[in-house]
């Protein structure tokens, strides 16, 4: 599997989210819940960065080295779009 490491990390995040749900059900201290949410967000950001790095070092390089200028432009637009979306959050 191409993204085996990312898939495993997502399973870990899934477990953390279930833990956060449990904390809410048990009326845990709000700051503790927020800290757990921040940890999940950091983990998701790490996974996203890892997948982006893999993409840049495979798909993007393949497109840039390829002969199809439309494909190069499409891949570059995708990357720009990802960064635009990330900067809005």
Cβ(7)–Cβ(50) below 8 Å: no
Structural domains of the chain, count: 1
The continuous run of DSSP H or E covering 69 comes out as helix 69-88
pLDDT per residue as tens digits for the range 27-63 = 999 999 999 999 999 999 999 999 999 988 898 888 8
Q: Which residue has the tokens 């390089």?
A: 61
CATH code (residue 52): 1.20.58.1000
Query: CA 63, CA 4: separation in Å to the nearest integer?
Result: 23
The 10s digit of each residue's pLDDT in 3-24 is: 889 999 999 999 999 999 999 9
For residue 27, the 8-state DSSP code is T
User: Rounded distance, CA 18 to CA 21, Å?
Assistant: 5
Provide φ and ψ at 44, rounded to 5°: -65, -40
* Domain range enclosing 59: 4-88
């Amino acid at each position: 599997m191409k993204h085996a490491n990312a898939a495993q990390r997502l399973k870990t995040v899934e477990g953390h989210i279930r833990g956060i749900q449990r904390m809410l059900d048990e009326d845990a201290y709000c700051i503790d819940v927020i800290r757990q949410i921040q940890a999940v967000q950091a983990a998701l950001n790490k996974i996203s960065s890892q997948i982006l790095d893999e993409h840049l070092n495979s798909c993007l390089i393949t497109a840039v080295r390829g002969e199809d200028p439309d494909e190069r432009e499409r891949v570059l637009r995708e990357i720009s779009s990802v960064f635009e979306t990330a900067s809005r959050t």
